């Protein structure tokens, strides 16, 4: 078996191992792994109790990575995240005490419950893969990935994330309730006092970086590259694509980061499927996850009950793949 095939098998093993603990979240695990293998941060949104935190915790156990879980609260300070300078009485000098952000995998739990200064500190780490403590800048370890959960903004005690920070997330995944079959399995498993499974480690940091390198080699045709660009522009100028009603509601379309994220995520989907090239079906299922948090709608859309998902659906139906 080639090295590439071995890595692809290990990805399937990760899916299976996480599935032994977490029920009915294959879609979520798929998107988390896309983020992990392409270096993209992931934001999960859903009401409490949908296993968002448990899924990320389980994934972290399957990976041989340094993992830290941070519970974001209104009284959290930037120093609690990145670290601070402390005075050493013996030496008479200030020394750096690094914070929990110096890990490979960060779970920022209920990230939108923290105030703006903490959001700003997290933004630098996500955007630059570095943090500044005092006058010194420190590089973060590789791989470095933030997986954040947030409660719906309508809930009490939440701070809406700044648009610049939201744009740093490769994808935003909405976590919904399980189907009846999965709910029944959760019920049986969680009420069995004898059930206690510890997932096995499946992937090292070196293997994760190797998978990133293999995904980078995946081919994508000029036709599909142009298709991604058309999708991006349709979100910015829907009227030019015949979406006149939708243009009435869109204040801002997606940023260039959206096209880059979609490009990389589609390559990861192809690699997961054992192919060396991207198909249209690798791109289309990802558009909503990549675009939904980047399209900014106006107040009229809110009043009329129009959502970003509705806009994205119309864009996908309207934009054709050139040459088809």
What is the DSSP-derived secondary structure letter of residue 162? Answer: P
Q: Where are the domains of the chain?
A: 3-191+202-211, 218-318
Q: Strand pairing partners for 225? A: none
pLDDT value at position 213?
94
Candidate CATH numbers 3.40.50.2300, 3.40.50.300, 3.30.1330.10, 3.30.390.30; the one for domain 3-191+202-211 = 3.40.50.300
Distance CA 288, CA 27 (A): 13
Percent of the chain residues past pLDDT 90, beyond the cut? 43
Distance CA 197, CA 184 (A): 18
Distance CA 27, CA 171 (A): 13
Q: What's the pTM?
A: 0.89
Q: Between 110 and 163, where is the model more confident?
A: 110
Over residues 148-161, mean pLDDT: 72
Residue 321 has pLDDT above 60, yes or no: yes
Token code pair at residue 296:
């900014």
Residue 318 has pLDDT above 90, yes or no: yes
Backbone φ and ψ of 77, nearest 5°? -110, 155
Q: Are 14 and 30 in contact (CB under 8 A)?
A: no
Q: Which fold has domain 218-318?
A: Helicase, Ruva Protein; domain 3 (1.10.8)
Tell me which residue of 146, 144, 66, 77 sits closest to 117, measured CA to CA.
Answer: 77
Query: Which segment of 154-163, 249-258, 295-304, 315-324 scores lowest on mean pLDDT?
Result: 154-163
Q: Are 78 and 131 in contact (CB under 8 A)?
A: no
Residue 283 has pLDDT above 80, yes or no: yes
Tell me which residue of 241, 264, 198, 256 sits closest to 37, measured CA to CA.
Answer: 264
pLDDT value at position 61?
87
* DSSP states along 281-294: HHHGGGHHHHHTTT
Over residues 278-297, mean pLDDT: 95
């Amino acid at each position: 078996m080639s090295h590439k095939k071995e890595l692809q098998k290990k990805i399937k093993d990760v899916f299976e191992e996480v599935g032994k603990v977490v029920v009915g979240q294959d879609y979520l695990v798929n998107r988390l792994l896309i983020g992990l293998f392409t270096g993209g941060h992931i934001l999960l949104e859903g009401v409490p109790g949908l296993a968002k935190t448990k899924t990320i915790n389980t994934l972290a156990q399957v990976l041989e990575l340094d993992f830290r879980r941070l519970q974001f609260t209104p009284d959290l300070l930037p120093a609690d995240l990145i670290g601070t300078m402390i005075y050493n009485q013996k030496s008479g000098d200030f020394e750096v005490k690094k914070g929990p952000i110096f890990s490979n995998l960060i779970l920022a739990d209920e990230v939108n419950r923290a105030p703006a200064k903490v959001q700003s500190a997290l933004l630098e780490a996500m955007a630059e893969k570095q943090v500044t403590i005092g006058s010194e800048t420190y590089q973060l370890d590789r791989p470095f990935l933030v997986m954040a959960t947030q409660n719906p903004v309508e809930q009490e005690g939440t701070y809406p994330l700044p648009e610049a920070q939201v744009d740093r997330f490769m994808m935003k995944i909405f976590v919904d309730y399980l189907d009846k079959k999965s709910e029944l399995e959760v019920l049986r498993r969680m009420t069995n006092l004898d059930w206690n499974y510890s997932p096995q480690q499946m992937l090292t940091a070196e293997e994760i970086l190797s998978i990133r390198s293999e995904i980078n080699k995946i081919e994508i045709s000029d036709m599909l590259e142009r298709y991604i660009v058309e999708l991006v522009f349709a979100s910015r100028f829907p009227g030019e694509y015949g979406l006149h009603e939708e243009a009435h509601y869109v204040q801002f379309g997606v940023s260039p980061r959206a096209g880059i994220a979609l490009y990389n995520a589609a390559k990861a989907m192809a690699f997961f499927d054992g192919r060396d090239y991207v198909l249209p079906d690798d791109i289309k299922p990802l558009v909503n996850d990549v675009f939904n948090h980047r399209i900014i709608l106006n107040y009229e859309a809110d009043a009329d009950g129009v959502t970003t998902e509705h806009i994205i659906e119309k864009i996908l139906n309207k934009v054709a793949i050139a040459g088809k």
